[in-house]
Chains A and B, each alone.
Chain A
Amino acid sequence: MKIDNSLPLEYGTEQNKLNILGFWIFLGAEVMLFATLFATYFTLEHRIGNGPAGAEIFELTPVLIETLLLLTSSFTIGLGVHAMRIGKKNAMMTFFAITLLLGLAFLGVEIYEFTHYVHVGAGLQVSAFTGVLLTTLGTHGAHVTVGLFWGLFIILQVKKHGLTPATANKSFIFSLYWHFLDVVWIFIFSFIYLKGMM
């Protein structure tokens, strides 16, 4: 395996460069996926049937907690990638672990939020609005869940093999994914929750 040392480790081999470009294109597809969900949400936002409207069910506190948890996790994974670039394996693993813990906490609050919606009569089957709201949030939540397992696997691999071109590449790509989920959440926070509460 030829390793180009003039580039960061995650870009070091030909296959690594391909992986990173391929993942960016995948993120392009993910943008379209969430864009479609948002378009559907905006179309159905006010079609509440006999169910509650957004303003009646959204609560600022759990949503703010989720936002802070996820934004912080984006910061810590950034620190993790920085630690990886300067070759500090243990620091990198620690920051990745903190990221995943924050993600786990986010998921916990989101699950609480979902049960809350069901309790106040905004379950999946109530109206077009609740259906698309929970589907959109659920799609993001499912992405976070997948990310938790994926991140855990990467930490285990870094622990076992150290910082090699392969593990560095995986870690970097995972960080792209994690930042992307954060961006999606910013849109959810602004255009679903804040707009809905106004």
Chain B
Amino acid sequence: MEYFDRFAIPHPSPAIYASMVAIGLTVIAILIGLTYFKKWGYLWREWLTTVDHKKIGILYLISALLMLFRGGVDALMMRAQTAVPDNTLLDAQHYNEVFTTHGVVMIIFMAMPFIYALMNFVVPLQIGARDVAFPRLNALSFWLFFMGAMLFNISFVVGGSPDAGWTSYFPLAGNDFSQSVGTNYYLLSIQIAGIGTLISGINFMTTIFKMRAPGMKLMKMPMFTWTALITNAIVVFAFPVLTVTLLLGTMDRLFGTHIFSMTNGGMDMLWANLFWVWGHPEVYILILPAFGIYSEVVSTFSQRNLYGYKSMVASIVIISFFSFLVWTHHFFTMGQGPLTNSIFSITTMAIAIPTGIKIFNWLLTMRKGKIKFTVPMLYTVGFIPIFTIGGVTGVMLGMASADYQYHNTMFLVAHFHYTIIPGVVFAMLAGLTYWWPKMFGFMLNERIGKWAFWFIMIGFNVTFFPMFFTGLDGQARRMYTYSEATGFGPLNMLSFVGAIGLAIGFAIIVYNVYYSTRYASRDIGTDPWNARTLEWATQTPVQSYNFARTPHVNSIEAFWDHKKKGQPLFKGEIEKIHMPNNSGVPFIMSCIFFVWGFSFVFSMWIPAIITTIAIFACMAHRSFEKDDGHYISVEEIEATEKNSEVLADENR
């Protein structure tokens, strides 16, 4: 039985046992439900084996929303714990685990799949393509991410959660100070998800470079596609750094090397440097697609073309370049010396310039526009002022000498939530509401959506604005409690109240999905927002082949010009369409990856070797497999397109 002791939780509590039971019951309920309603075949055929970029996008979306709620519960626990001084709701160890998993879940397992959900669904449609360049790899990307997320999420009931912060600095994360397997979970699960992300990066770069509709020059791409291209370029160049960093961390923890240790020549600061060489570009991986979404939304609902298209493109390229040159600002206080700190201070502040250009471009797009305050537009308009607060406090933090006052305080926590929540979460909610009708064939209720927006907007500010003050007063981040004498109590209570407001806002969004699914009209046409880009030139819901005939583009807003100036969009006859076949291998291979990761977490070498061989066997199977896809015949396309407005539109 000693062998199984490793799976025990080092710091059990009633809440964790309750979660165990809840997880067990949920799994049983899902299995029984699938069997009772005879949905296994449907699940396998339509979802587990799919290579359709639209379905993969929806899978990413579901996972991201699930993780949003998991990370949100972590956040509520933290706010509840610090709401009053000397609280004992969580002990120090649990608080450490909660802030660690909150960070990892929100960034790696919520924000990343959310941006890939929208990229997967939208980018091929926006460029007029049938699918991504490598549909099978796209499925593998998703399932690797998903299995990484699942591996991370079982940590708190099997073996213990990571507790060294989402940055997992060594030597704290080393074997001496983090004795549970928690940090192993961190290293392996992010590694698996990260490989998936890297594959996506390659896939989308190839797709955008090679599969654009005829006439769509690079400088005629919609802004969201531009940001997707640059984001994926950052992914391709930043994620290998993470791969190596996690590999070296794994070597230290599992194989006893001394790379990040304090003895035998190891260098602990190397982890911090390598981590942030990936970590800072990662911030821009999250924010650039958000900028793309805002650009689409602001121009659609101001009913004007995007102001300063070229300067928008230039600024995202400059941001992507600078994103690799600022990593040291995450540890100004760790003794690099004044010259290094000054250089990184300047590069950090320089990023404010291209970002400022974008802010002014959005404002000038709205100027003289006929603005419609729909839910996506509300998120966009709400984003601009609060993101600017986040940006300005970022410049404050970027001044190396002043940073000694703010470093590792709640001021920093307030700053990055002021950038990430309006920058990523608002954008994802805007994008979700905006593209929802294309994904599901009905619109989310506007009135309920506006209630959710105001709860989230006000709740957000009430939660995070007080942290600027407690931070300046010296409240350190990641401290599980504080004494009454510090005087931090009232403002922290205010934060907790705001957090509840945020939670209510998200609950309203869930209700909105339920309400709209039941009651919303299915008769919305193909273009309910009167939008400007090619994804709205498809049927609703989008056919598996996307476009019956390839669109021809000769302006930035091809669909708008088609509607307003009558420029022809689709030319020529319908031809048979080549489509890729579904495959179960990506899913199976990712399941093997899950077992592989689990075996490494617990240093179980025999299953680790077997699964390694099995993973390569899957790759060998792919190499020998002959799979030329299939064709959709002209008759079939004509039958599905018979009632389509797209065809009728073209014949007018």
| Contact surface of A with B, Cβ cutoff 8 Å | 1, 17-18, 21-22, 25-26, 28-30, 32-33, 36-37, 40, 43-44, 47-51, 124-129, 131-132, 135, 139, 146, 149-150, 153-154, 156-157, 170
Contacts and interface: CB of A to CB of B under 8 A. Distances in A.
Interface in B618-652: 620, 623-624, 628
Contacts of B198: 29
A25 B251 contact: no
Contacts of A131: 251-252, 257-259, 266
Interface string B242-279: 01110110011001111101011111001000100100
A22 B623 contact: no
B348 interface: no
Contacts of B243: 33
Contact of A135 (B209, B247, B267, B277): B247
B274 A125 contact: no
Given A51-B264, A128-B265, 20 more contacts: A21-B209, A21-B210, A22-B133, A22-B202, A25-B201, A25-B205, A29-B202, A36-B244, A40-B248, A40-B259, A48-B265, A124-B251, A124-B255, A127-B258, A128-B259, A128-B266, A131-B259, A135-B251, A135-B257, A157-B624
B449 to A, nearest CB: 39
B616 interface: yes
Contacts of B209: 21
Contacts of A124: 251, 255-257
Given A22-B134, A44-B265, A28 B237 contact: yes
A25 B236 contact: yes
Contacts of A51: 264-265
Nearest to A145: B616
Contacts of A50: 264
Nearest to B232: A25
* Interface of A: prevailing SS: helix
A153 B624 contact: yes
Contact of B202 (A25, A44, A48): A25
Contacts, number: 121
Nearest to B133: A18
B258 A150 contact: no
Given A22-B203, A26-B202, A127-B258, A43 B267 contact: yes
A26 B264 CA distance: 35
Given A49-B264, A125-B258, A43 B206 contact: no
A135 to B, nearest CB: 6
A146 B241 CA distance: 21
B240 interface: yes
B239 interface: yes
Interface of B: 133-134, 198, 201-203, 205-206, 209-211, 236-241, 243-245, 247-248, 251-252, 255-259, 261, 263-267, 270, 274, 277, 616, 620, 623-624, 628
A49 B258 contact: yes
A150 B241 contact: no
Contact of B240 (A30, A43, A129): A30
Contacts of B256: 124-125
A57 B95 CA distance: 47
6 contacts: A18-B211, A48-B265, A135-B251, A153-B624, A154-B623, A170-B623
| Interface hub of B133, B206, B237, B265 (most chain A Cβ within 10 A) | B265
A185 B176 CA distance: 35
Given A28-B237, A124-B257, A36 B274 contact: yes
Nearest to B238: A32
A36 B259 contact: no
A121 to B, nearest CB: 13
Nearest to A124: B257
Contacts of A33: 240-241, 243-244
Contacts of B277: 36
Given A18-B210, A135-B251, A125 B240 contact: no
A30 B237 CA distance: 9
B241 A32 contact: yes
Nearest to B616: A149
B210 to A, nearest CB: 6
Contact of B241 (A36, A132, A139): A36
A195 B251 CA distance: 25
A22 B259 CA distance: 33
A29 B244 CA distance: 12
Nearest to A33: B240
Nearest to A45: B265
A47 B265 contact: yes
Contact of A149 (B203, B255, B620): B620
Contacts of A154: 623
